Structure 1
């Protein structure tokens, strides 16, 4: 019986594979400052001008600033050696945890907007249309800028690397940094509500369709709720060590058993945005050697850390 473990030199080695995390942290910090300054501006002028529209949007933006603060803090914790040294696989899971926290904040925003929208149906308030439209346009502009900053970091990534032996590693898996994805969804959610608010306010001002304001608020709630649920499912799956969705298990099993081997046990899970781990137990009449399986895992499926046993 042979076994091998591809050991990593330090707990935080997984995150060193992904240099984009440092860039994402800088983006989160920049967007946090933009959001916070806008929030303070709106709250200050809301109080000085007695504008409820400015105050409401300012405090609403405060929830997003809090979520963005969690996003940035998550990166700091995930890459802090003193924080992650006691975790078996480093701080990678903290990234998913940050995304999960952002999704909970999104649900809180849904609850707040939904409650306010329902109340407006039964107890409509006089709206200062010109002032409210100006605030909505300002909020939309800020959110578009922030979304543009975060957008490039949220998509799928094509992994391409070389291992220590010079072998070519090539994977078509889809990897998400759920932490930055959560921040992006907060910004986009705010932009969606701003677009809806502008449409509703213009309709109310020029056509008297006052009911559209709370109605579009509820529609926005439904959209944001769906985004939040998807993010909760994705981050929860990763936090609970669900099978890696980026791996084609049918293809993986086929290649591992291509020379008469039989898989007795196989687990592949994600421990960081671009890092997969695998536990593999195989049996074979003819010994192929542990390197045979390791090369398949690493070169074909970009699995960086593997524990292999051949019986």
Structure 2
């Protein structure tokens, strides 16, 4: 991948193909994403039982995915401006030479996408078990069904493949019909599509890193199970993600009946991704609370 990246960037610069240059830069982002993904998995497993990480190492993968998407977004913004400049100021294009490099890049991208897609299916079929106990008597299974780290790497590969196809189409048109304007146009369109993907990944992983509230449906289900305990009124609830498929919560409850926190934790056991729930209960003898 690194060799192909260098070849595409160098080839795009020499031949004057903006689309090929874009493909090379995207592939550089792909290499970065794979490197960050590998490092994230390594550190996540290495620090799985690190007591300094009070809620586990699950967010390491999201941090890597966020960083990867950020680098991709910055590079694509540059490509957008460069494509516009090339469109307004056309330059000579060595289409045949650039086409050969673009085809090689597409083959590498398709192979990488196939390998990553297989890894994602394997992760969905087998839990990664980034477990840590912290002496709480249970293990944490950071499920990989929505692994943002692996998703980031796969997005990079798909982005590279899209750019490779776009570059090939533009180069064929420039070679056969002399449409030099199509090369920067295709690079611009491909860059905007990839930018949209990068922004989506930034928003998703950024929300996790900033401890954003859980989806409304999950929150409603948790409230329903807490309120199922007789005499309960939920005064305050915070529910957020601590890793891939893992959540935690703090809840302040009022009850006119003597009830232990374990009663509520038992109610929440069906939520397999919920860990470290903190329940505080206020006994209110004179409260008229409807169950």
TM score, norm. by length of structure 1? 0.73
Q: Residue 273 of structure 2 corresponds to which residue in structure 1? A: 302
**Alpha-carbon shift at residue 76 of structure 1 (Å):** 2.1
Is 2:73–2:198's contact at 8 Å kept on the other side of the alignment? yes
Partners of 2:59 and 2:174 lie apart in 1 by 47
Q: How many residues align?
A: 264
1:81 to 29, 47, 57: 47
The alpha carbon displacement at 1:303 in A equals 0.9
Is 1:252 matched with 2:219?
Answer: no
SS in 2 for 1:248: helix
Distance 1:128 1:245 in 2: 51
Separation in structure 2 between the aligned mates of residue 43 and residue 174 of structure 1, nearest angstrom: 33
Once the two structures are TM-superposed, the CA of residue 157 in structure 1 deviates from its matched residue by 5.5
Secondary structure of the residue aligned to 2:212 is coil
Structure 2 equivalent of residue 167 of structure 1: none
**How far off is 1:188 after superposition?**
1.0
2:135 alignment partner in structure 1: none
Where do 5+ consecutive residues of structure 2 fail to align? 130-142, 283-291
Q: Aligned to 1:272, which of 243, 256, 260?
A: 243
1:62 is aligned to 28
CA distance in 2, matches of 1:295, 1:159: 26
Separation (CA, whole Å) in 1 of partners of 2:2 and 2:65: 20
**2:20–2:98 contact (8 Å) kept in structure 1:** no
Cα distance in 2 for residues equivalent to 1:248 and 1:264: 17
Question: More deviation in 212-221 or 295-304?
Answer: 295-304
Whether the 8 Å CA contact 1:298–1:304 is kept in 2: the answer is no
> Is the contact made by 2:44 and 2:61 (CA closer than 8 Å) also made in structure 1?
yes
User: 1:281 Cα shift?
Assistant: 2.2
The equivalent of 1:122 in structure 2 is 88
Cα distance between partner residues in 2 of 1:159 and 1:293: 30
Q: How does 1:1-311 map to 2 (within 5 A)?
A: 35-39=1-5, 42=7, 56=21, 58=24, 61-81=27-47, 84-152=50-118, 175-245=145-215, 248-258=218-228, 259-300=230-271, 302-311=273-282
Q: What is the CA deviation profile of residues 14-51 of structure 1, one whole-angstrom value per residue up to 9, with x for unaligned ones?
A: xxxxxxxxxxxxxxxxxxxxx224335x279959xx66
Do the aligned partners of residues 76 and 304 (structure 1) sit closer, same or farther apart at CA in structure 2, a change above 3 Å counting?
same
Match of residue 165 from structure 1 = none
CA distance in 2, matches of 1:154, 1:108: 26
Which secondary structure does the structure 2 equivalent of 1:250 belong to?
helix
CA RMSD of aligned residues (A): 3.4
Per-residue deviation, 1:218 = 1.0
Unaligned runs of 5+ in 1: 1-34, 162-172
Deviation at 1:83, TM superposition (A): 9.9
Deviation at 1:58, TM superposition (A): 4.8
Alpha-carbon distance between aligned partners in 1 of 2:2 and 2:51, rounded to the nearest angstrom: 32
CA distance in 1, matches of 2:5, 2:98: 15
How does the TM-score come out when normalised to structure 2? Answer: 0.78
Q: Aligned equivalents of 2:154 and 2:272: distance in 1?
A: 28
Greater Cα offset, 195-204 or 59-68:
59-68
